[in-house]
Amino acid sequence: MNRNYSKELDRILQNPENKGRKLLLHSCCAPCSSYVLAYLRSFFRITVFYFNPNITEDTEYQKRAAEQKRLIAEMNARLAEDILCAQNTAAGVCVGNEKPAGESVCTGRADAYPIEILEGDYDAKVFFERVKGLEQCREGGERCFACFELRLAETAEQAKALGADYFTTTLTISPLKNASKINEIGERLSGRYGVTFLPSDFKKKDGYKQSIELSGRYGLYRQDYCGCVFSRQEREHSRREADKESAGK
């Protein structure tokens, strides 16, 4: 029977005992994390774990890591503004923050939590060693599953060390990623490390669409391939084929 991971997550969020618990959130990139952070920061105290040795070019890695840090800094800055706005609104004074449609006064999200970030070690050799023998797999296959497990295992280990209540990943927001497989891997690692895996399918409820909108709002760099040299080569091949087809019309 197919599980609805989105509904499973909703049930967890509806439990008031989970309010304020610690979540270590593996993030693959700033654009994918944007919606997830906006969605979860009112429920959990989130630390973003940026661990992506699959990004096999150093300059690309540094660019994506910088965007992740910038996004978190800006979201925290806006949170501080929202809290101040909510405090002034409660006192009957609006300080001029953007008002929601139909509201006469601004309503800050004072119930949200600041976001922290932890950057993991970066060494692309770790990724190449893990996927050795799987180089010829198509994108979305066994090579990707090995990559998911590499990043989620490190997340689970860090979550245990930090005393986090939950760990999860932003990866399920992508329409190109196998959410069932990601959840399966996460739950298996949960048993190994003794930290609860938070189920998710973040692309549901227009999550992916909202991540695109938030990326535009924050002016985020949106990469067009997953990160590894294999996904880049496959994307370039697809482009060449599309150009040939277009030229032939």
pLDDT tens digits along 112-157: 899 999 999 999 999 999 999 999 998 889 999 999 999 999 999 9
94 pLDDT above the threshold of 70: no
% of the chain exceeding 90 in pLDDT: 74
Half-sphere exposure of 14 (CA within 13 A, CB side): 6
Q: Which ranges in 30-175 belong to alpha helices (H)?
A: 30-40, 58-90, 124-130, 142-162
pLDDT in the model for residue 92: 47
pLDDT digits (tens, 9 = 90+) for 53-81: 999 999 999 999 999 999 999 999 988 77
User: b/e per residue, 132-163, with b = 16+ CB within 10 A?
Assistant: eeeeeeebeeebbbbbbbbbbbbbbbbbeeee
202 pLDDT above the threshold of 70: yes
pLDDT in the model for residue 242: 66
Average of per-residue pLDDT values in the chain: 88
The separation between CA 51 and the C-alpha centre of its own chain, rounded to angstroms, equals 11
Q: How far apart are CA 50 and CA 28, in angstroms?
A: 7
Half-sphere exposure of 44 (CA within 13 A, CB side): 22
pLDDT in the model for residue 246: 67
pLDDT in the model for residue 237: 67
pLDDT digits (tens, 9 = 90+) for 14-53: 999 999 999 999 999 999 999 999 999 999 999 999 999 9
105 pLDDT above the threshold of 60: no
pLDDT in the model for residue 174: 94
